[in-house]
Amino acid sequence: MIHRVEISKLAAKQLRKLPRHIVDNLMIWVVAVEHEGLEEVRKVPGYHDEPLKGDRAGQRSIRLSRSYRAIYEVKEVTAKFVSVEEVSKHEY
């Protein structure tokens, strides 16, 4: 079960430029993953957690708002953890 989340340098830089409510929504997701585990949080329908395709195969996204997504992937070094790779405005 995965209970650890790390924010990449790129994602941290992007978060500094985003509206506060987007940052808050990501931090709520991070706390939920660290407390309940990734598998349980994936079941929450509001996040629309889904696998990505194409060049982003192996990564997943969650919705932070109607426009913003967080891209993450599960990494395994000595233990499995979630790495938030990017937070960006989704283009429709």
CATH 3.40.50.720 matches 5-89: no
Residue 50 main-chain phi, psi, to 5 deg: -145, 150
Mean pLDDT (whole number) for 12-32: 96
Domain segments of the chain as ranges: 5-89
Rounded to two decimals, what is the model's pTM? Answer: 0.87
pLDDT per position as a tens digit, 50-88: 999 999 999 999 999 999 999 999 988 777 888 899 988
